[in-house]
Structure 1
Amino acid sequence: MTRFSASPHPLMGRRALLKAVLAGAGVAAVPGLAACGSGDGGGGATDTVSFGNNQSDQVPKDAITAVLKSFEGESGLKVSINTKQHEQYQEQINNYLQGKPDDVLSWFAGYRMRFFAEKGLTGDLSDVWSKVSSGYEPGLKEASTASDGKQYLIPFVQYPWGMFYLKSVWQQRGYTVPKTLDEMVALSTKMKADGLAPIAFAQKQGWPGMGTFDQLNFRINGYQFHVDLMAGKEDWQGAKVREVFDTWKRLLPFHQENALGREWQEAAQSLQQGKSGMFLLGTFVAQQFKGKEEDLDFFPYPEINPEHGQDTVEAPIDGYMMSKKPGNPEGAAKLLEFMSTPAAQLAYLKADPTQIAASNKADTSGYNSLQKKAAQVIKEAAHITQFLDRDTDPRFASDAATNGINAFIQNPDDIDTILKGMADQAKTIFTE
């Protein structure tokens, strides 16, 4: 998982999001990133590929550096690494791509990728995909494809979201994995009677509740509606979104109280201590279970609408794009093809075993139990979503979605007012 230095979750902070919005509106970015690339006709040396890196924390930075050194050894090319602090990279990306970006650069699949591809700011990777497509499941290709049907990103690593629990606690109390929403309600009722908070919940950081919304929306309304809603093509005041919040309202009494004052790490600790029964989060939650990793397990969010079953999994994908006019197009294509290989991805994962290789050809024998489960869940999914803030306009995520979800948690009886506010903001943002 690509993480920001300020938070272990791969989500831009609200301040950073607002800065990114300003950058998108044409406000100058802080100098640095945009000036370092050789792309956009920058005339980089033909034996060198420039690489825009957002892995600024030391462990992942060392890991990606080792991967690129391996590429140098295999290809005979040199890689010039341009590393920027993670949030700063995000804030400057718009100006960076319009200036002289690096030949190959770090970014995210889904809406974030499509946004720049459809502006014509990144390079078409369809030729590379024609060589590497057999190494990816259809859902990953879908998440790397823009509206023109072409691919603009090579997936590298990813991690799924799910309902986490401690096997020992469930075995002791006789709990079984729920397959449907009604089964999860029955299980939650039993957990509450047993003195547990059925569903650990935290919303102080503003983003965890987005995960709950996503799960409910694509379980109820399906993948395509969810993607269209995130893109501003569906009505936030419509009956389908209303059903999502009505369903959440039914589940809210089973969630840990006072979520707006709790960080996700605290919610994870309540699960680790056996005070909560389940917790919806990404596999990075394992950071809070040192010494108990093998006791940690998860299951995909239960079925709600049989038409869609459990066909969609939230599994953010980090990968690499190519600049529109790389200084070394042949070298860039070779590097991107290399980054699609199991060897490159597994070498990186030695530094972060909370996520998995995007390639379906990766040898999973060295994975821990959580990674093996993550790989299985992703492989079985028909569709992959990225997480609300990656699948929609960042202005909507940072303001309307965050404030709307927080308001709902505070007052779930005021759904109509909340949805009107979200719908009004969506109309403003997506019609500009």
Structure 2
Amino acid sequence: MTLQSRTVLTAPQPSRRTVVGGLFGLGAAALAAPLLTACGGGAAADPKTVTFGSNGADATPKSAYAAVTKAFAKESGLTVKTNTVDHDSFQKSISSYLQGTPDDVFTWFAGYRMQYFAKKGLATPLDDVWEKIGGGFSEATKQLSQGEDGKFYFVPLYNYPWGVFYRKSLFQERGYTVPRTWSEFTALAKRMKKDGLSPIASGYGGGDAWSILGAFDYLNLRANGYEFHMSLMRGEVSWTDKRAATTLDLWREISPYYQQGAGGRSWQDAAQSLLDKKSGMAVIGLFLGQQVSDEALRADIDFFPFPEIDPANGQDAVEAPTDGFMLSRRPKNEKGAKKLLEFLGSAKAEGLYMGVDPSNVAVHAQADTGSYNPLQKKSAELIASAKHITQFADRDSDPGFISTVVLPGLTQWLGHPDDGAALLKRIESQRSRFFTS
């Protein structure tokens, strides 16, 4: 799942990891009584006002967005009227909201989730905005901001990577070397187990089943490449494809090195075992910093990219969920809204946001990183070097499919990993319920 409760060393944003089943069902019962409504309702357009629908209800992101919109107002002479709703309510009512009279600009997610609303005609293309801001973003980020029709619909603000985290002092004490390839990774895991450690920290109990998807995504990306992974996520290829079976075979290979009892443990407890040097590694996101308050301990945390499996794919793909903004289908003040989006897509805006909320990594290539801690700096470098950026399984696929079919199957399988054929057949039998050709 995608992270909704992570603090890259500061305040958390609860629920961003929550998979909302059936999120995109336009007639879903959960959306019958919309919780998210637009500022101003049906009032006539005010050429001096831009309305902004925000999911940043927690104190830190709310203050960060306020700093950004205040700076834009001062620079442009326009007023930004912000409509802030808590993250879960925003997601649950987003479809009804966009079909009604939404705010001009609204917060949302890159990739598949953006493309869904673009394809439904619930968002306005932003090619003219990208003509002005495009020079500040990598090709991979541009990829994430385009709809299926090749037009731009999204302006990114921040992201954060997943990797394999560890404690530097543990590696130094034990003489461990950071692995680059799959064989080196499995050899290190075997050595850690012999040394009495749980090689790979893991906790996917209760509502934390989403945490296993980071490993699944990376295994599939490294073994089969970005194109196959995205086709699988979007329901375009069969889950009984031999390449999907290869992914499970690789996962089964390292399953003996997973922390025992993972199905009854939270991700926080698993992360703590890494910090306590009871586990050697953890496949997790930068939000691991949420567990840390001691600066000396924070300085001892590091990560490396998930290892290479097939040299043809290398380590080119990085899992880095990206948040940003979209323009509603019929904005009341389109001209002003596009001015706001141009500002939001600037290095200045990202710097203002990160100055209040340092729990993310700026996406803009020219963003000021002077205040970044070492983990943030390394995260920014990793993402900037990526040929492809993926979001996370529930953002790159239909979230209902992931939450009701894929996740239950994978978590059950991880408890007793077999050859995986039966599991993949069960998942495939449900694919047509969520994806149409």
What's the TM-score, normalizing by structure 2? 0.94
- Asked if 1:53 is matched to 2:57, the reply is no
AA of the residue aligned to 1:323: S
Q: How far apart in 1 are the matches of 2:435 and 2:374?
A: 42
Structure 1 residues 221-264: Cα deviation after superposition (integer angstroms, max 9, x where no partner): 11111111111001101100000000000010111111111111
Q: CA deviation at 1:22?
A: 5.0
- The partner residue of 1:245 within 245, 248, 252 is 248
Aligned 1:182-201 pairs, distance under 5 A: 182-201=183-202
AA of the residue aligned to 1:221: N
- Asked if 1:267 is matched to 2:270, the reply is yes
Q: How far apart in 1 are the matches of 2:225 and 2:15?
A: 25
Q: CA deviation at 1:37?
A: 5.9
- Determine the structure 2 residue equivalent to 1:223: 226
Q: How far apart in 1 are the matches of 2:115 and 2:327?
A: 13
Residues 31 and 95 in structure 2, CA contact (< 8 A), matched pair in contact too: no
Q: CA deviation at 1:173?
A: 1.1
Question: Gaps (5+ residues) in structure 2?
Answer: 7-11
Q: How far apart in 2 are the matches of 1:4 and 1:89?
A: 15
Structure 1 residues 344-373: Cα deviation after superposition (integer angstroms, max 9, x where no partner): 112212333232111011122221100100
- Determine the structure 2 residue equivalent to 1:10: 16
Q: CA deviation at 1:325?
A: 1.0
Q: How far apart in 1 are the matches of 2:352 and 2:44?
A: 31
Q: CA deviation at 1:405?
A: 1.0
The SS at the match of 1:364 is coil
The SS at the match of 1:206 is helix
The SS at the match of 1:374 is helix
Moved more, 166-175 or 238-247: 166-175
Residues 50 and 81 in structure 2, CA contact (< 8 A), matched pair in contact too: yes
- The partner residue of 2:418 within 394, 402, 413 is 413
Residues 49 and 78 in structure 2, CA contact (< 8 A), matched pair in contact too: yes
Structure 1 residues 405-430: Cα deviation after superposition (integer angstroms, max 9, x where no partner): 11211221151111111111112211
Aligned 1:106-121 pairs, distance under 5 A: 106-121=107-122
Structure 1 residues 126-163: Cα deviation after superposition (integer angstroms, max 9, x where no partner): 11011111100100000111111101000000000000
- The partner residue of 1:383 within 356, 379, 388 is 388
Structure 1 residues 324-360: Cα deviation after superposition (integer angstroms, max 9, x where no partner): 1100001110111111112211221233323211101
- The partner residue of 1:402 within 382, 401, 407 is 407
Q: CA deviation at 1:2?
A: 7.3
Aligned 1:245-394 pairs, distance under 5 A: 245-291=248-294, 292-394=297-399
The SS at the match of 1:297 is strand
- Determine the structure 2 residue equivalent to 1:74: 75
- Determine the structure 2 residue equivalent to 1:162: 163
- Determine the structure 1 residue equivalent to 2:134: 133
Residues 29 and 91 in structure 1, CA contact (< 8 A), matched pair in contact too: no
- The partner residue of 2:213 within 185, 204, 210 is 210
Residues 48 and 79 in structure 2, CA contact (< 8 A), matched pair in contact too: yes
Q: CA deviation at 1:24?
A: 4.6
The SS at the match of 1:278 is strand
- Asked if 1:33 is matched to 2:43, the reply is no
Residues 222 and 314 in structure 2, CA contact (< 8 A), matched pair in contact too: yes
Aligned residues: 427
What's the TM-score, normalizing by structure 1? 0.95
Change in 2 beyond 3 A, CA 1:11/1:286: same
The SS at the match of 2:281 is strand
RMSD: 1.8
Residues 50 and 80 in structure 1, CA contact (< 8 A), matched pair in contact too: yes
Residues 4 and 18 in structure 2, CA contact (< 8 A), matched pair in contact too: no
Q: CA deviation at 1:21?
A: 5.0
Q: How far apart in 2 are the matches of 1:42 and 1:179?
A: 58
Identity of aligned residues (%): 46
Q: How far apart in 2 are the matches of 1:295 and 1:281?
A: 16
- Determine the structure 1 residue equivalent to 2:9: none
